Amino acid sequence: MTFDQLISLPVLQNTQAELSLPASWGQGRTVFGGLSAALMLQSMLHQLTEQDRRLLSFSCNFVGPLLSDESFELSTQLLRSGKNATQMQTTITQNGQPCLVALACFGKPRTSAITVRADDTCTLTELNDKQTLPYIDGVMPAFIQHIDLNLQQGALPFSAASSSNLGGWMKFKAPAKPNLSVLHLLALADAWPPTLLQLCKGPTPASSMSWYIEFLDDIALAGDEWFAMEAVTHQAEHGYAIEDAKLFSQDGKLLALSRQTVAVFDS
């Protein structure tokens, strides 16, 4: 199934849903975290009755592995809907154990005299098809077969690189219908490997523990466009790392800011 088919599952319209995800969307022993997060956000969007509110922020804690080809429960709760903002929480549990917990904040535009423009610019060069990574079964995570990653900055994982910066273009192989949205960007933002894996000398397990992403505006772009990602390792020590990323549209507009805490097991 494609990403769009999965986020369009009718069961996600319910506050309580039971579903499973195919192994083709696996990431090691767990389901691709970007897809899991997008399903939780889609559930929230179905419960958002105030259509004048857009997604401001989304945070997710990866509590435990979510196994593919096994049923799990997704539960969404409206925490509060005030005059200007709505807060929701979604939890995914499997075999009675919590796997992911997410919080999202939605807000409506208001009149304000304060305007500070984001002046961040994308430093990636134009797309070069030769830099798109080929999918290699058994070497790359299974979910990569659905995604194109065009590496421009940094190196491949486990290459003993000297820099932890990472940057490139990304898109789903199957064009989005009817258009790209925050759901697509949220999922793709998690498609790249952790920045510090390129520092490792050989295969090394790593896992995202927490993720916080802020969206600067609504997203409605052509279904076959690319997103850009530029990430840096903010700090790493004692087996944990913090990485920051900026996410841009293909025309260079800053769309979102991301921060993840990653655990690495290189000892």
pLDDT (tens digit per residue) in 66-105: 999 999 999 999 999 999 999 999 999 999 999 999 999 9
In SS3 terms, the chain reads as: CCHHHHHCCHHHHCCEEEECCCHHHEECCEECHHHHHHHHHHHHHHHCCCCCCEEEEEEEEECCCCCCCCCEEEEEEEEEECCCEEEEEEEEEECCEEEEEEEEEEECCCCCCCCCCCCCCCCCCCCCHHHECCCCECCECHHHHHEEEEEEECCCCCCCCCCCCEEEEEEECCCCCCCECHHHHHHHCCCCCCHHHHHCCCCCCEEEEEEEEEECCCCCECCCCCEEEEEEEEEEECCEEEEEEEEECCCCCEEEEEEEEEEECCC
Residue 64: per-residue pLDDT: 95
* pLDDT band, very low/low/confident/very high, at 135 (cuts 50, 70, 90): very high
Q: In the prediction, which pLDDT does 191 show?
A: 96
User: pLDDT at residue 12 above 80?
Assistant: yes
pLDDT value at position 111? 87
Look at residue 35 and tell me whether its pLDDT is greater than 90: yes
Looking at residue 128, its pLDDT comes to: 87
Q: What percent of the chain has pLDDT over 70?
A: 100
More confident residue, 214 or 139: 214
pLDDT of residue 104: 98
| pLDDT on residue 267 | 73
- Domain spans in the chain, listed from the N-terminal domain onward: 3-108+133-264
pLDDT at 117: 87
pLDDT at 249: 96
Q: What is the pLDDT of residue 154?
A: 92
Does 115 score more than 90 pLDDT? no
Q: Which residue has the higher pLDDT, 20 or 156?
A: 20
- For residue 88, what pLDDT is reported? 98
- pLDDT computed for residue 185 by the predictor: 98
pLDDT in tens, 169-212: 999 999 998 999 999 999 999 999 999 899 999 888 899 999 99
* pLDDT at residue 32, rounded to an integer: 97
Q: What is the per-residue pLDDT for 143?
A: 97
What pLDDT shows up at residue 163? 87
Instruction: Report pLDDT for 5.
Output: 97
Predicted local confidence at residue 138, as pLDDT: 87
Domain 3-108+133-264 has what CATH class?
Answer: mainly beta
The predicted model scores a pTM of: 0.95
The mean of the pLDDT values for the chain is 95
